[in-house]
Amino acid sequence: MNKKQLAEAAHIRPNTVGALYDESIQRLDKDMLNNLCKVFNCTISDILEYVPDKEDKS
């Protein structure tokens, strides 16, 4: 599946798919996550990983 096909299948903008691919996405909404999970037949935890911010030790 290419980016265009994913955008069409998940009903999201191609630019958003590009931002997801480049890991430069600023926001994720529940509808987009729901659509991606449906397309990939997976759960949110298969898509997202929580990584805490690095603490500033200055």
Q: Around Cβ 5, how many Cβ atoms within 10 Å?
A: 11
| Domain ranges, ordered by start, for the chain | 3-47
Say if pTM beats, i.e. exceeds, 0.85. Answer: no
Instruction: Pick the closest to residue 37 from 10, 2, 1 (CA basis).
Output: 10
- Output the tens digit of pLDDT for each of the chain's 58 residues: 999 999 999 999 999 999 999 989 988 899 999 999 999 999 999 988 888 888 766 5
Contact 2, 25 (CB under 8 A): no
Q: How far is CA 51 from CA 3, 7, 30, 48, 55, in A?
A: 25, 26, 19, 9, 12
